[in-house]
Amino acid sequence: MTDLLPRSTPEQQSLPTAAIERLVAALGRIDHVHTVTVVRHGHVVGEATWAPYERDEPTALYSVSKSFTSLAVGIAIGEGRFGLDDRVIDLVPEAAPAEPSAHLAELRVRHLLTMTTGHTSEVELWEGDWARDTLAAELMYAPGTHWMYNTPATHLLSLIVQTHTGERLLDYLRPRLFEPLGFVDPTWLQSPSGVDAGGFGLSIRPEELAAFGQLLLQRGTWKGRQLVPAEWIDEATRWQVANDAGGSDWNQGYGFQFWRCRHGAYRGDGAFGQYIVVMPEHDAVVAITGGLPDMQLPLDALWAELLPAFDAVPASGVGGSAAVVVTDPIAAPGGELRPVEVAYEYEGGPVQRLRVAGGMIEVDGHRLPFVPGEWTPAVFPADPSADRFWYGDRVAVGGGWNGDEFAAEIRLLGDASTLRLVLDGTGRLTITQDVGFEGTDLWQGEAAQAVVDHHSVVSP
């Protein structure tokens, strides 16, 4: 993939290389950070990738998608398609109830953007007509008076854009944003009714995420073109409403689908460790992808390791490349390949088998290549009908034996999830998914049938 941003040594941009190294080390101590890209004065000055993840392949952004939807709304408003204070029921009347409540009648585009719709709980987005279900839900508060994080509100914004431009969100943004920035084939999940999800579901590459952050820092300008109205960037990223009380980076106020941060920064962020952090006071951007449960930790690492280092050294030198770190593979233990077969079931479902033999591992009926102690690329087809839904199908398989315990991981390369299988010396099998909307402990318990001696030969 062609670089979207120029490279530079950190010192050329008044940032010591040691600060990049400290940041990478701090992120490396946080389990399941996948990539980081540091941009200063428009140049990539540091980047790291933790195996088996890849910088040149797309990854699911989860709720960072909301920030892209915000820019689509800003562009459409700038084109005169609709207005910030237009009523939602007037913009999408086909999705509105026949007799809207007084609160619903006052719901405006502005309220969707700031997540002050008046809802007290989120409508589940899975089946049916998401927009119709969201507008049918009772608004307990008057719009504009109560903040609640609300992914269905962002989906309504996607529907509004689609209704008033005649194009799905992805296609509307393609010539206006994605192509000028140099994005390669972004994808966006859709609702059952054919509307881009809006609040989640966008997949792009890590450097594309960094370029998006640089566009924000440049107030919508890219290579001399004003892609997004500068006034919209200013409004979208400033404090618009108060959110939950507290002192973390989730309590600094909310804009138009952007979070305010400590230290004068703002960000788009998505579940399980997807971030685009923009620091206007320091002319810097940091993009992170991951699959972690505690999303405050990477932000703490930024503030501790990178923030104090800006302008700690004068700009020096010419030419040079960014500080690049590609970590060594981190897999479960290796060792000899000893066959194993265990039967199990998911809460009364059909009996499945974990089998390891002949250079392959079989789980949930899928046979994947397996080399102990190494990350092996494979394909694990996504199955929307299954309880465990994954966005993509590119995986890396790693694992092996540690004494009498066998452990294997299947890491989804285009998403945050890791499926972990552990068979202890007593024959007890535990299967967990560390992050994901279906939660952890997918299956845990004694094998449904007798365990085959895993020291004996099992035919592949």
Residue 425 is predicted with a pLDDT of: 80
CATH of the domain at 302: 3.40.710.10
What is the model's pLDDT at position 459?
Answer: 32
In a domain, 95, yes or no: no
Same domain, 369 and 414: yes
Report d(CA 432, CA 435) in Å as an integer: 9
- Each residue's pLDDT tens digit, 342-400: 877 766 667 778 888 878 998 877 889 988 888 999 987 766 555 444 545 889 998 88
**Residues 390 and 423 both lie in one domain:** yes
Instruction: Please give the pLDDT value at position 40.
Output: 97
Number of separate domains in the chain: 2
Contact 90, 160 (CB under 8 A): no
Whether residues 302 and 373 fall in one domain = no
**pLDDT per residue as tens digits for the range 114-139:** 999 999 999 988 888 999 999 999 99
Instruction: Please check whether residue 135 is in contact with residue 97, taking contact to mean a CB–CB distance below 8 angstroms.
Output: yes
Provide the pairing of β-strand 43-49 with 323-326.
Answer: parallel
Residue that terminates a domain, selected from 270, 304, 326: 326
Amino acid at 398: G
28 and 59 housed in the same domain = yes
Binning pLDDT at 50, 70 and 90, where does residue 457 land? very low
pLDDT at 450 over 80: no
Rounded to an integer, what distance in angstroms lies between the CA atom of residue 320 and that of residue 327?
21
- Residue 188 dihedral angles phi and psi, to the nearest 5°: -140, 125
Distance CA 440, CA 433 (A): 5
Question: Is 125 within the bounds of a domain?
Answer: no
Tokens of 383: 């199955």
Are 258 and 361 members of one domain?
no
3-state secondary structure of 156: helix
Is residue 94 domain-resident? no
Q: Report the pLDDT value the prediction gives residue 328, as an integer from 0 to 100.
A: 62
pLDDT, residue 333, reads: 62
- pLDDT > 80? residue 85: yes
Residue pLDDT, tens place only, 11-42: 999 999 999 999 999 999 998 999 999 999 99
State residue 436's pLDDT score: 62
Any domain includes 456 = no
Same domain, 220 and 315: yes
Do both 251 and 181 map to the same domain? yes
Q: Do residue 322 and residue 348 come from a single domain?
A: no
> Above 80 in pLDDT, residue 90?
yes
Amino acid of residue 431: I
How far apart are alpha carbons 391 and 368 in whole angstroms? 18
C-beta separation of 101 from 112 below 8 A: no
Same domain? For 55 and 187 the reply is: yes
The band of 72, judged by pLDDT with boundaries at 50, 70 and 90, is very high
Query: Cα dihedral sign for 426, 428, 429, 434?
Result: negative
Q: Which residues contact 27 (CB under 8 A, 6 or more apart)?
A: 33, 36, 48, 288, 298, 301
Residue that finishes a domain, picked among 292, 326, 360: 326
Q: Kindly state whether residue 105 falls inside one of the protein's structural domains.
A: no
Asked if residue 305 has pLDDT above 60, the reply is yes
CA distance 260 to 369: 44
- Is 375 part of a structural domain of the chain? yes
**80-100: average pLDDT:** 97
Backbone angles phi, psi at 223, to 5 degrees: 50, 45
Supply the pLDDT for residue 442.
41
CA-nearest of 344, 329, 359 to 431 is 344
State the DSSP string of 82-144. S-TT-BHHHHSGGGS-SS--HHHHT-BHHHHHHT-SS-SSPPP-SSS-HHHHHHHS---S-TT
Q: pTM of the predicted model, to two decimals?
A: 0.92
- Assigned domain for 459 exists: no
% of the chain with per-residue pLDDT over 90: 65
Residue with the two structure tokens 């932000």: 299
Name the domain boundary from 275, 301, 326: 326
Q: What is the mean pLDDT of the chain?
A: 88
- d(CA 268, CA 233) in angstroms, rounded, equals 13
Range of the domain at 40: 10-76+163-326
Query: Does one domain contain both 191 and 318?
Result: yes
Q: Measured between alpha carbons, how far is 41 from 44 in angstroms, rounded to an integer?
A: 9
What is the rounded radius of gyration, in angstroms, for the C-alpha atoms of the chain?
24
Are 311 and 188 in the same domain?
yes
Does 106 score more than 50 pLDDT?
yes
Q: 39 and 175: one domain?
A: yes
**More confidently predicted of 424 and 59:** 59
Tens digit of each residue's pLDDT (9 = 90 or more) over 133-159: 999 999 999 999 999 999 999 999 999
Band of the pLDDT at 59, cuts 50, 70, 90?
very high
Res 383: pLDDT: 61
Which residue, among 282, 297, 277, has the nearest Cα to 209 in the 3D structure?
A: 277
Quickly state the pLDDT bin for 432 (edges 50, 70, 90). Answer: confident
pLDDT tens-digit map of 306-340: 999 998 888 887 666 777 777 666 555 666 667 88
Judge whether 156 lies within some domain.
Answer: no
pLDDT of residue 400: 86
